[in-house]
Amino acid sequence: MADSYPLTIAHPTRFAMVRQAAGILAPSVQAPSPQIKYQMTRSVPLAEITALLREALSGAAQTVTARPPQTARNGVNGEQINLYLYHVLPDPAMGNSVASPGSPTPSNGYSIRLKYMVTAYDDDADAPGQELIGRVIGLFQDHPVLDVSDVENIQQVQVIMDPLTPEQLAALWASFQTGYCLSVCYEVRVVLAQGQDRE
């Protein structure tokens, strides 16, 4: 009889995973679950910022929504202003502080730029949307900095008109795959408060 030698497995866990993949490992034996490498410690409050803008515009029209333009008018009649966030950018001019990989603590200060399109709808056949867009422009000219005293984790919200060329505006509307309506674009500069880590 040939001599027998004990089988030595250099990597038992890897061996078990191979056997499991081949269907020859007992169901009661499971390969180790992968560990989560990154833990979320904070969240940028985009929805809260949009809610602030909707509240600011609430006196400018009967209805203020925050929908994609292609569905903005669904179920709505009469005066309506629709606010749509279409792009998010960092704001290096505000001195963002980004933690380096492997840092034990994340950075606190951070600022972002949010690109919004504001569209007006009404039943005016002669000058559709013009009265409402005029109200929006006047409101943000008079109140370019919003009150954030009742909102956590936000230090400042500043609203600045973002003039697009006709070509840029046409390309933006084409991406929505819907008909053009009178609109104006704004850049909203947001400074997030320090110490906004999630518990």
7 band by pLDDT with thresholds 50, 70 and 90: very low
Q: Specify the pLDDT at position 11.
A: 53
Q: Specify the pLDDT at position 196.
A: 44
Asked whether the beta carbons of 152 and 141 are under 8 A apart, the reply is: no
Question: What would you measure as the largest C-alpha separation in the chain, in angstroms?
Answer: 103
CATH topology of domain 46-192: STM4215-like (3.30.2000)
What is the model's pTM?
A: 0.73
> Mean pLDDT over all residues of the chain?
81
Q: Specify the pLDDT at position 9.
A: 46
Distance from C-alpha of 51 to C-alpha of 47, rounded to nearest angstrom? 6
pLDDT tens-place string over residues 64-99? 999 999 999 999 999 999 999 999 999 887 655 444
Distance from C-alpha of 129 to C-alpha of 131, rounded to nearest angstrom? 6
Q: Specify the pLDDT at position 93.
A: 74
Average pLDDT over residues 147-151: 90
Asked whether the beta carbons of 48 and 37 are under 8 A apart, the reply is: no
Q: Specify the pLDDT at position 53.
A: 97
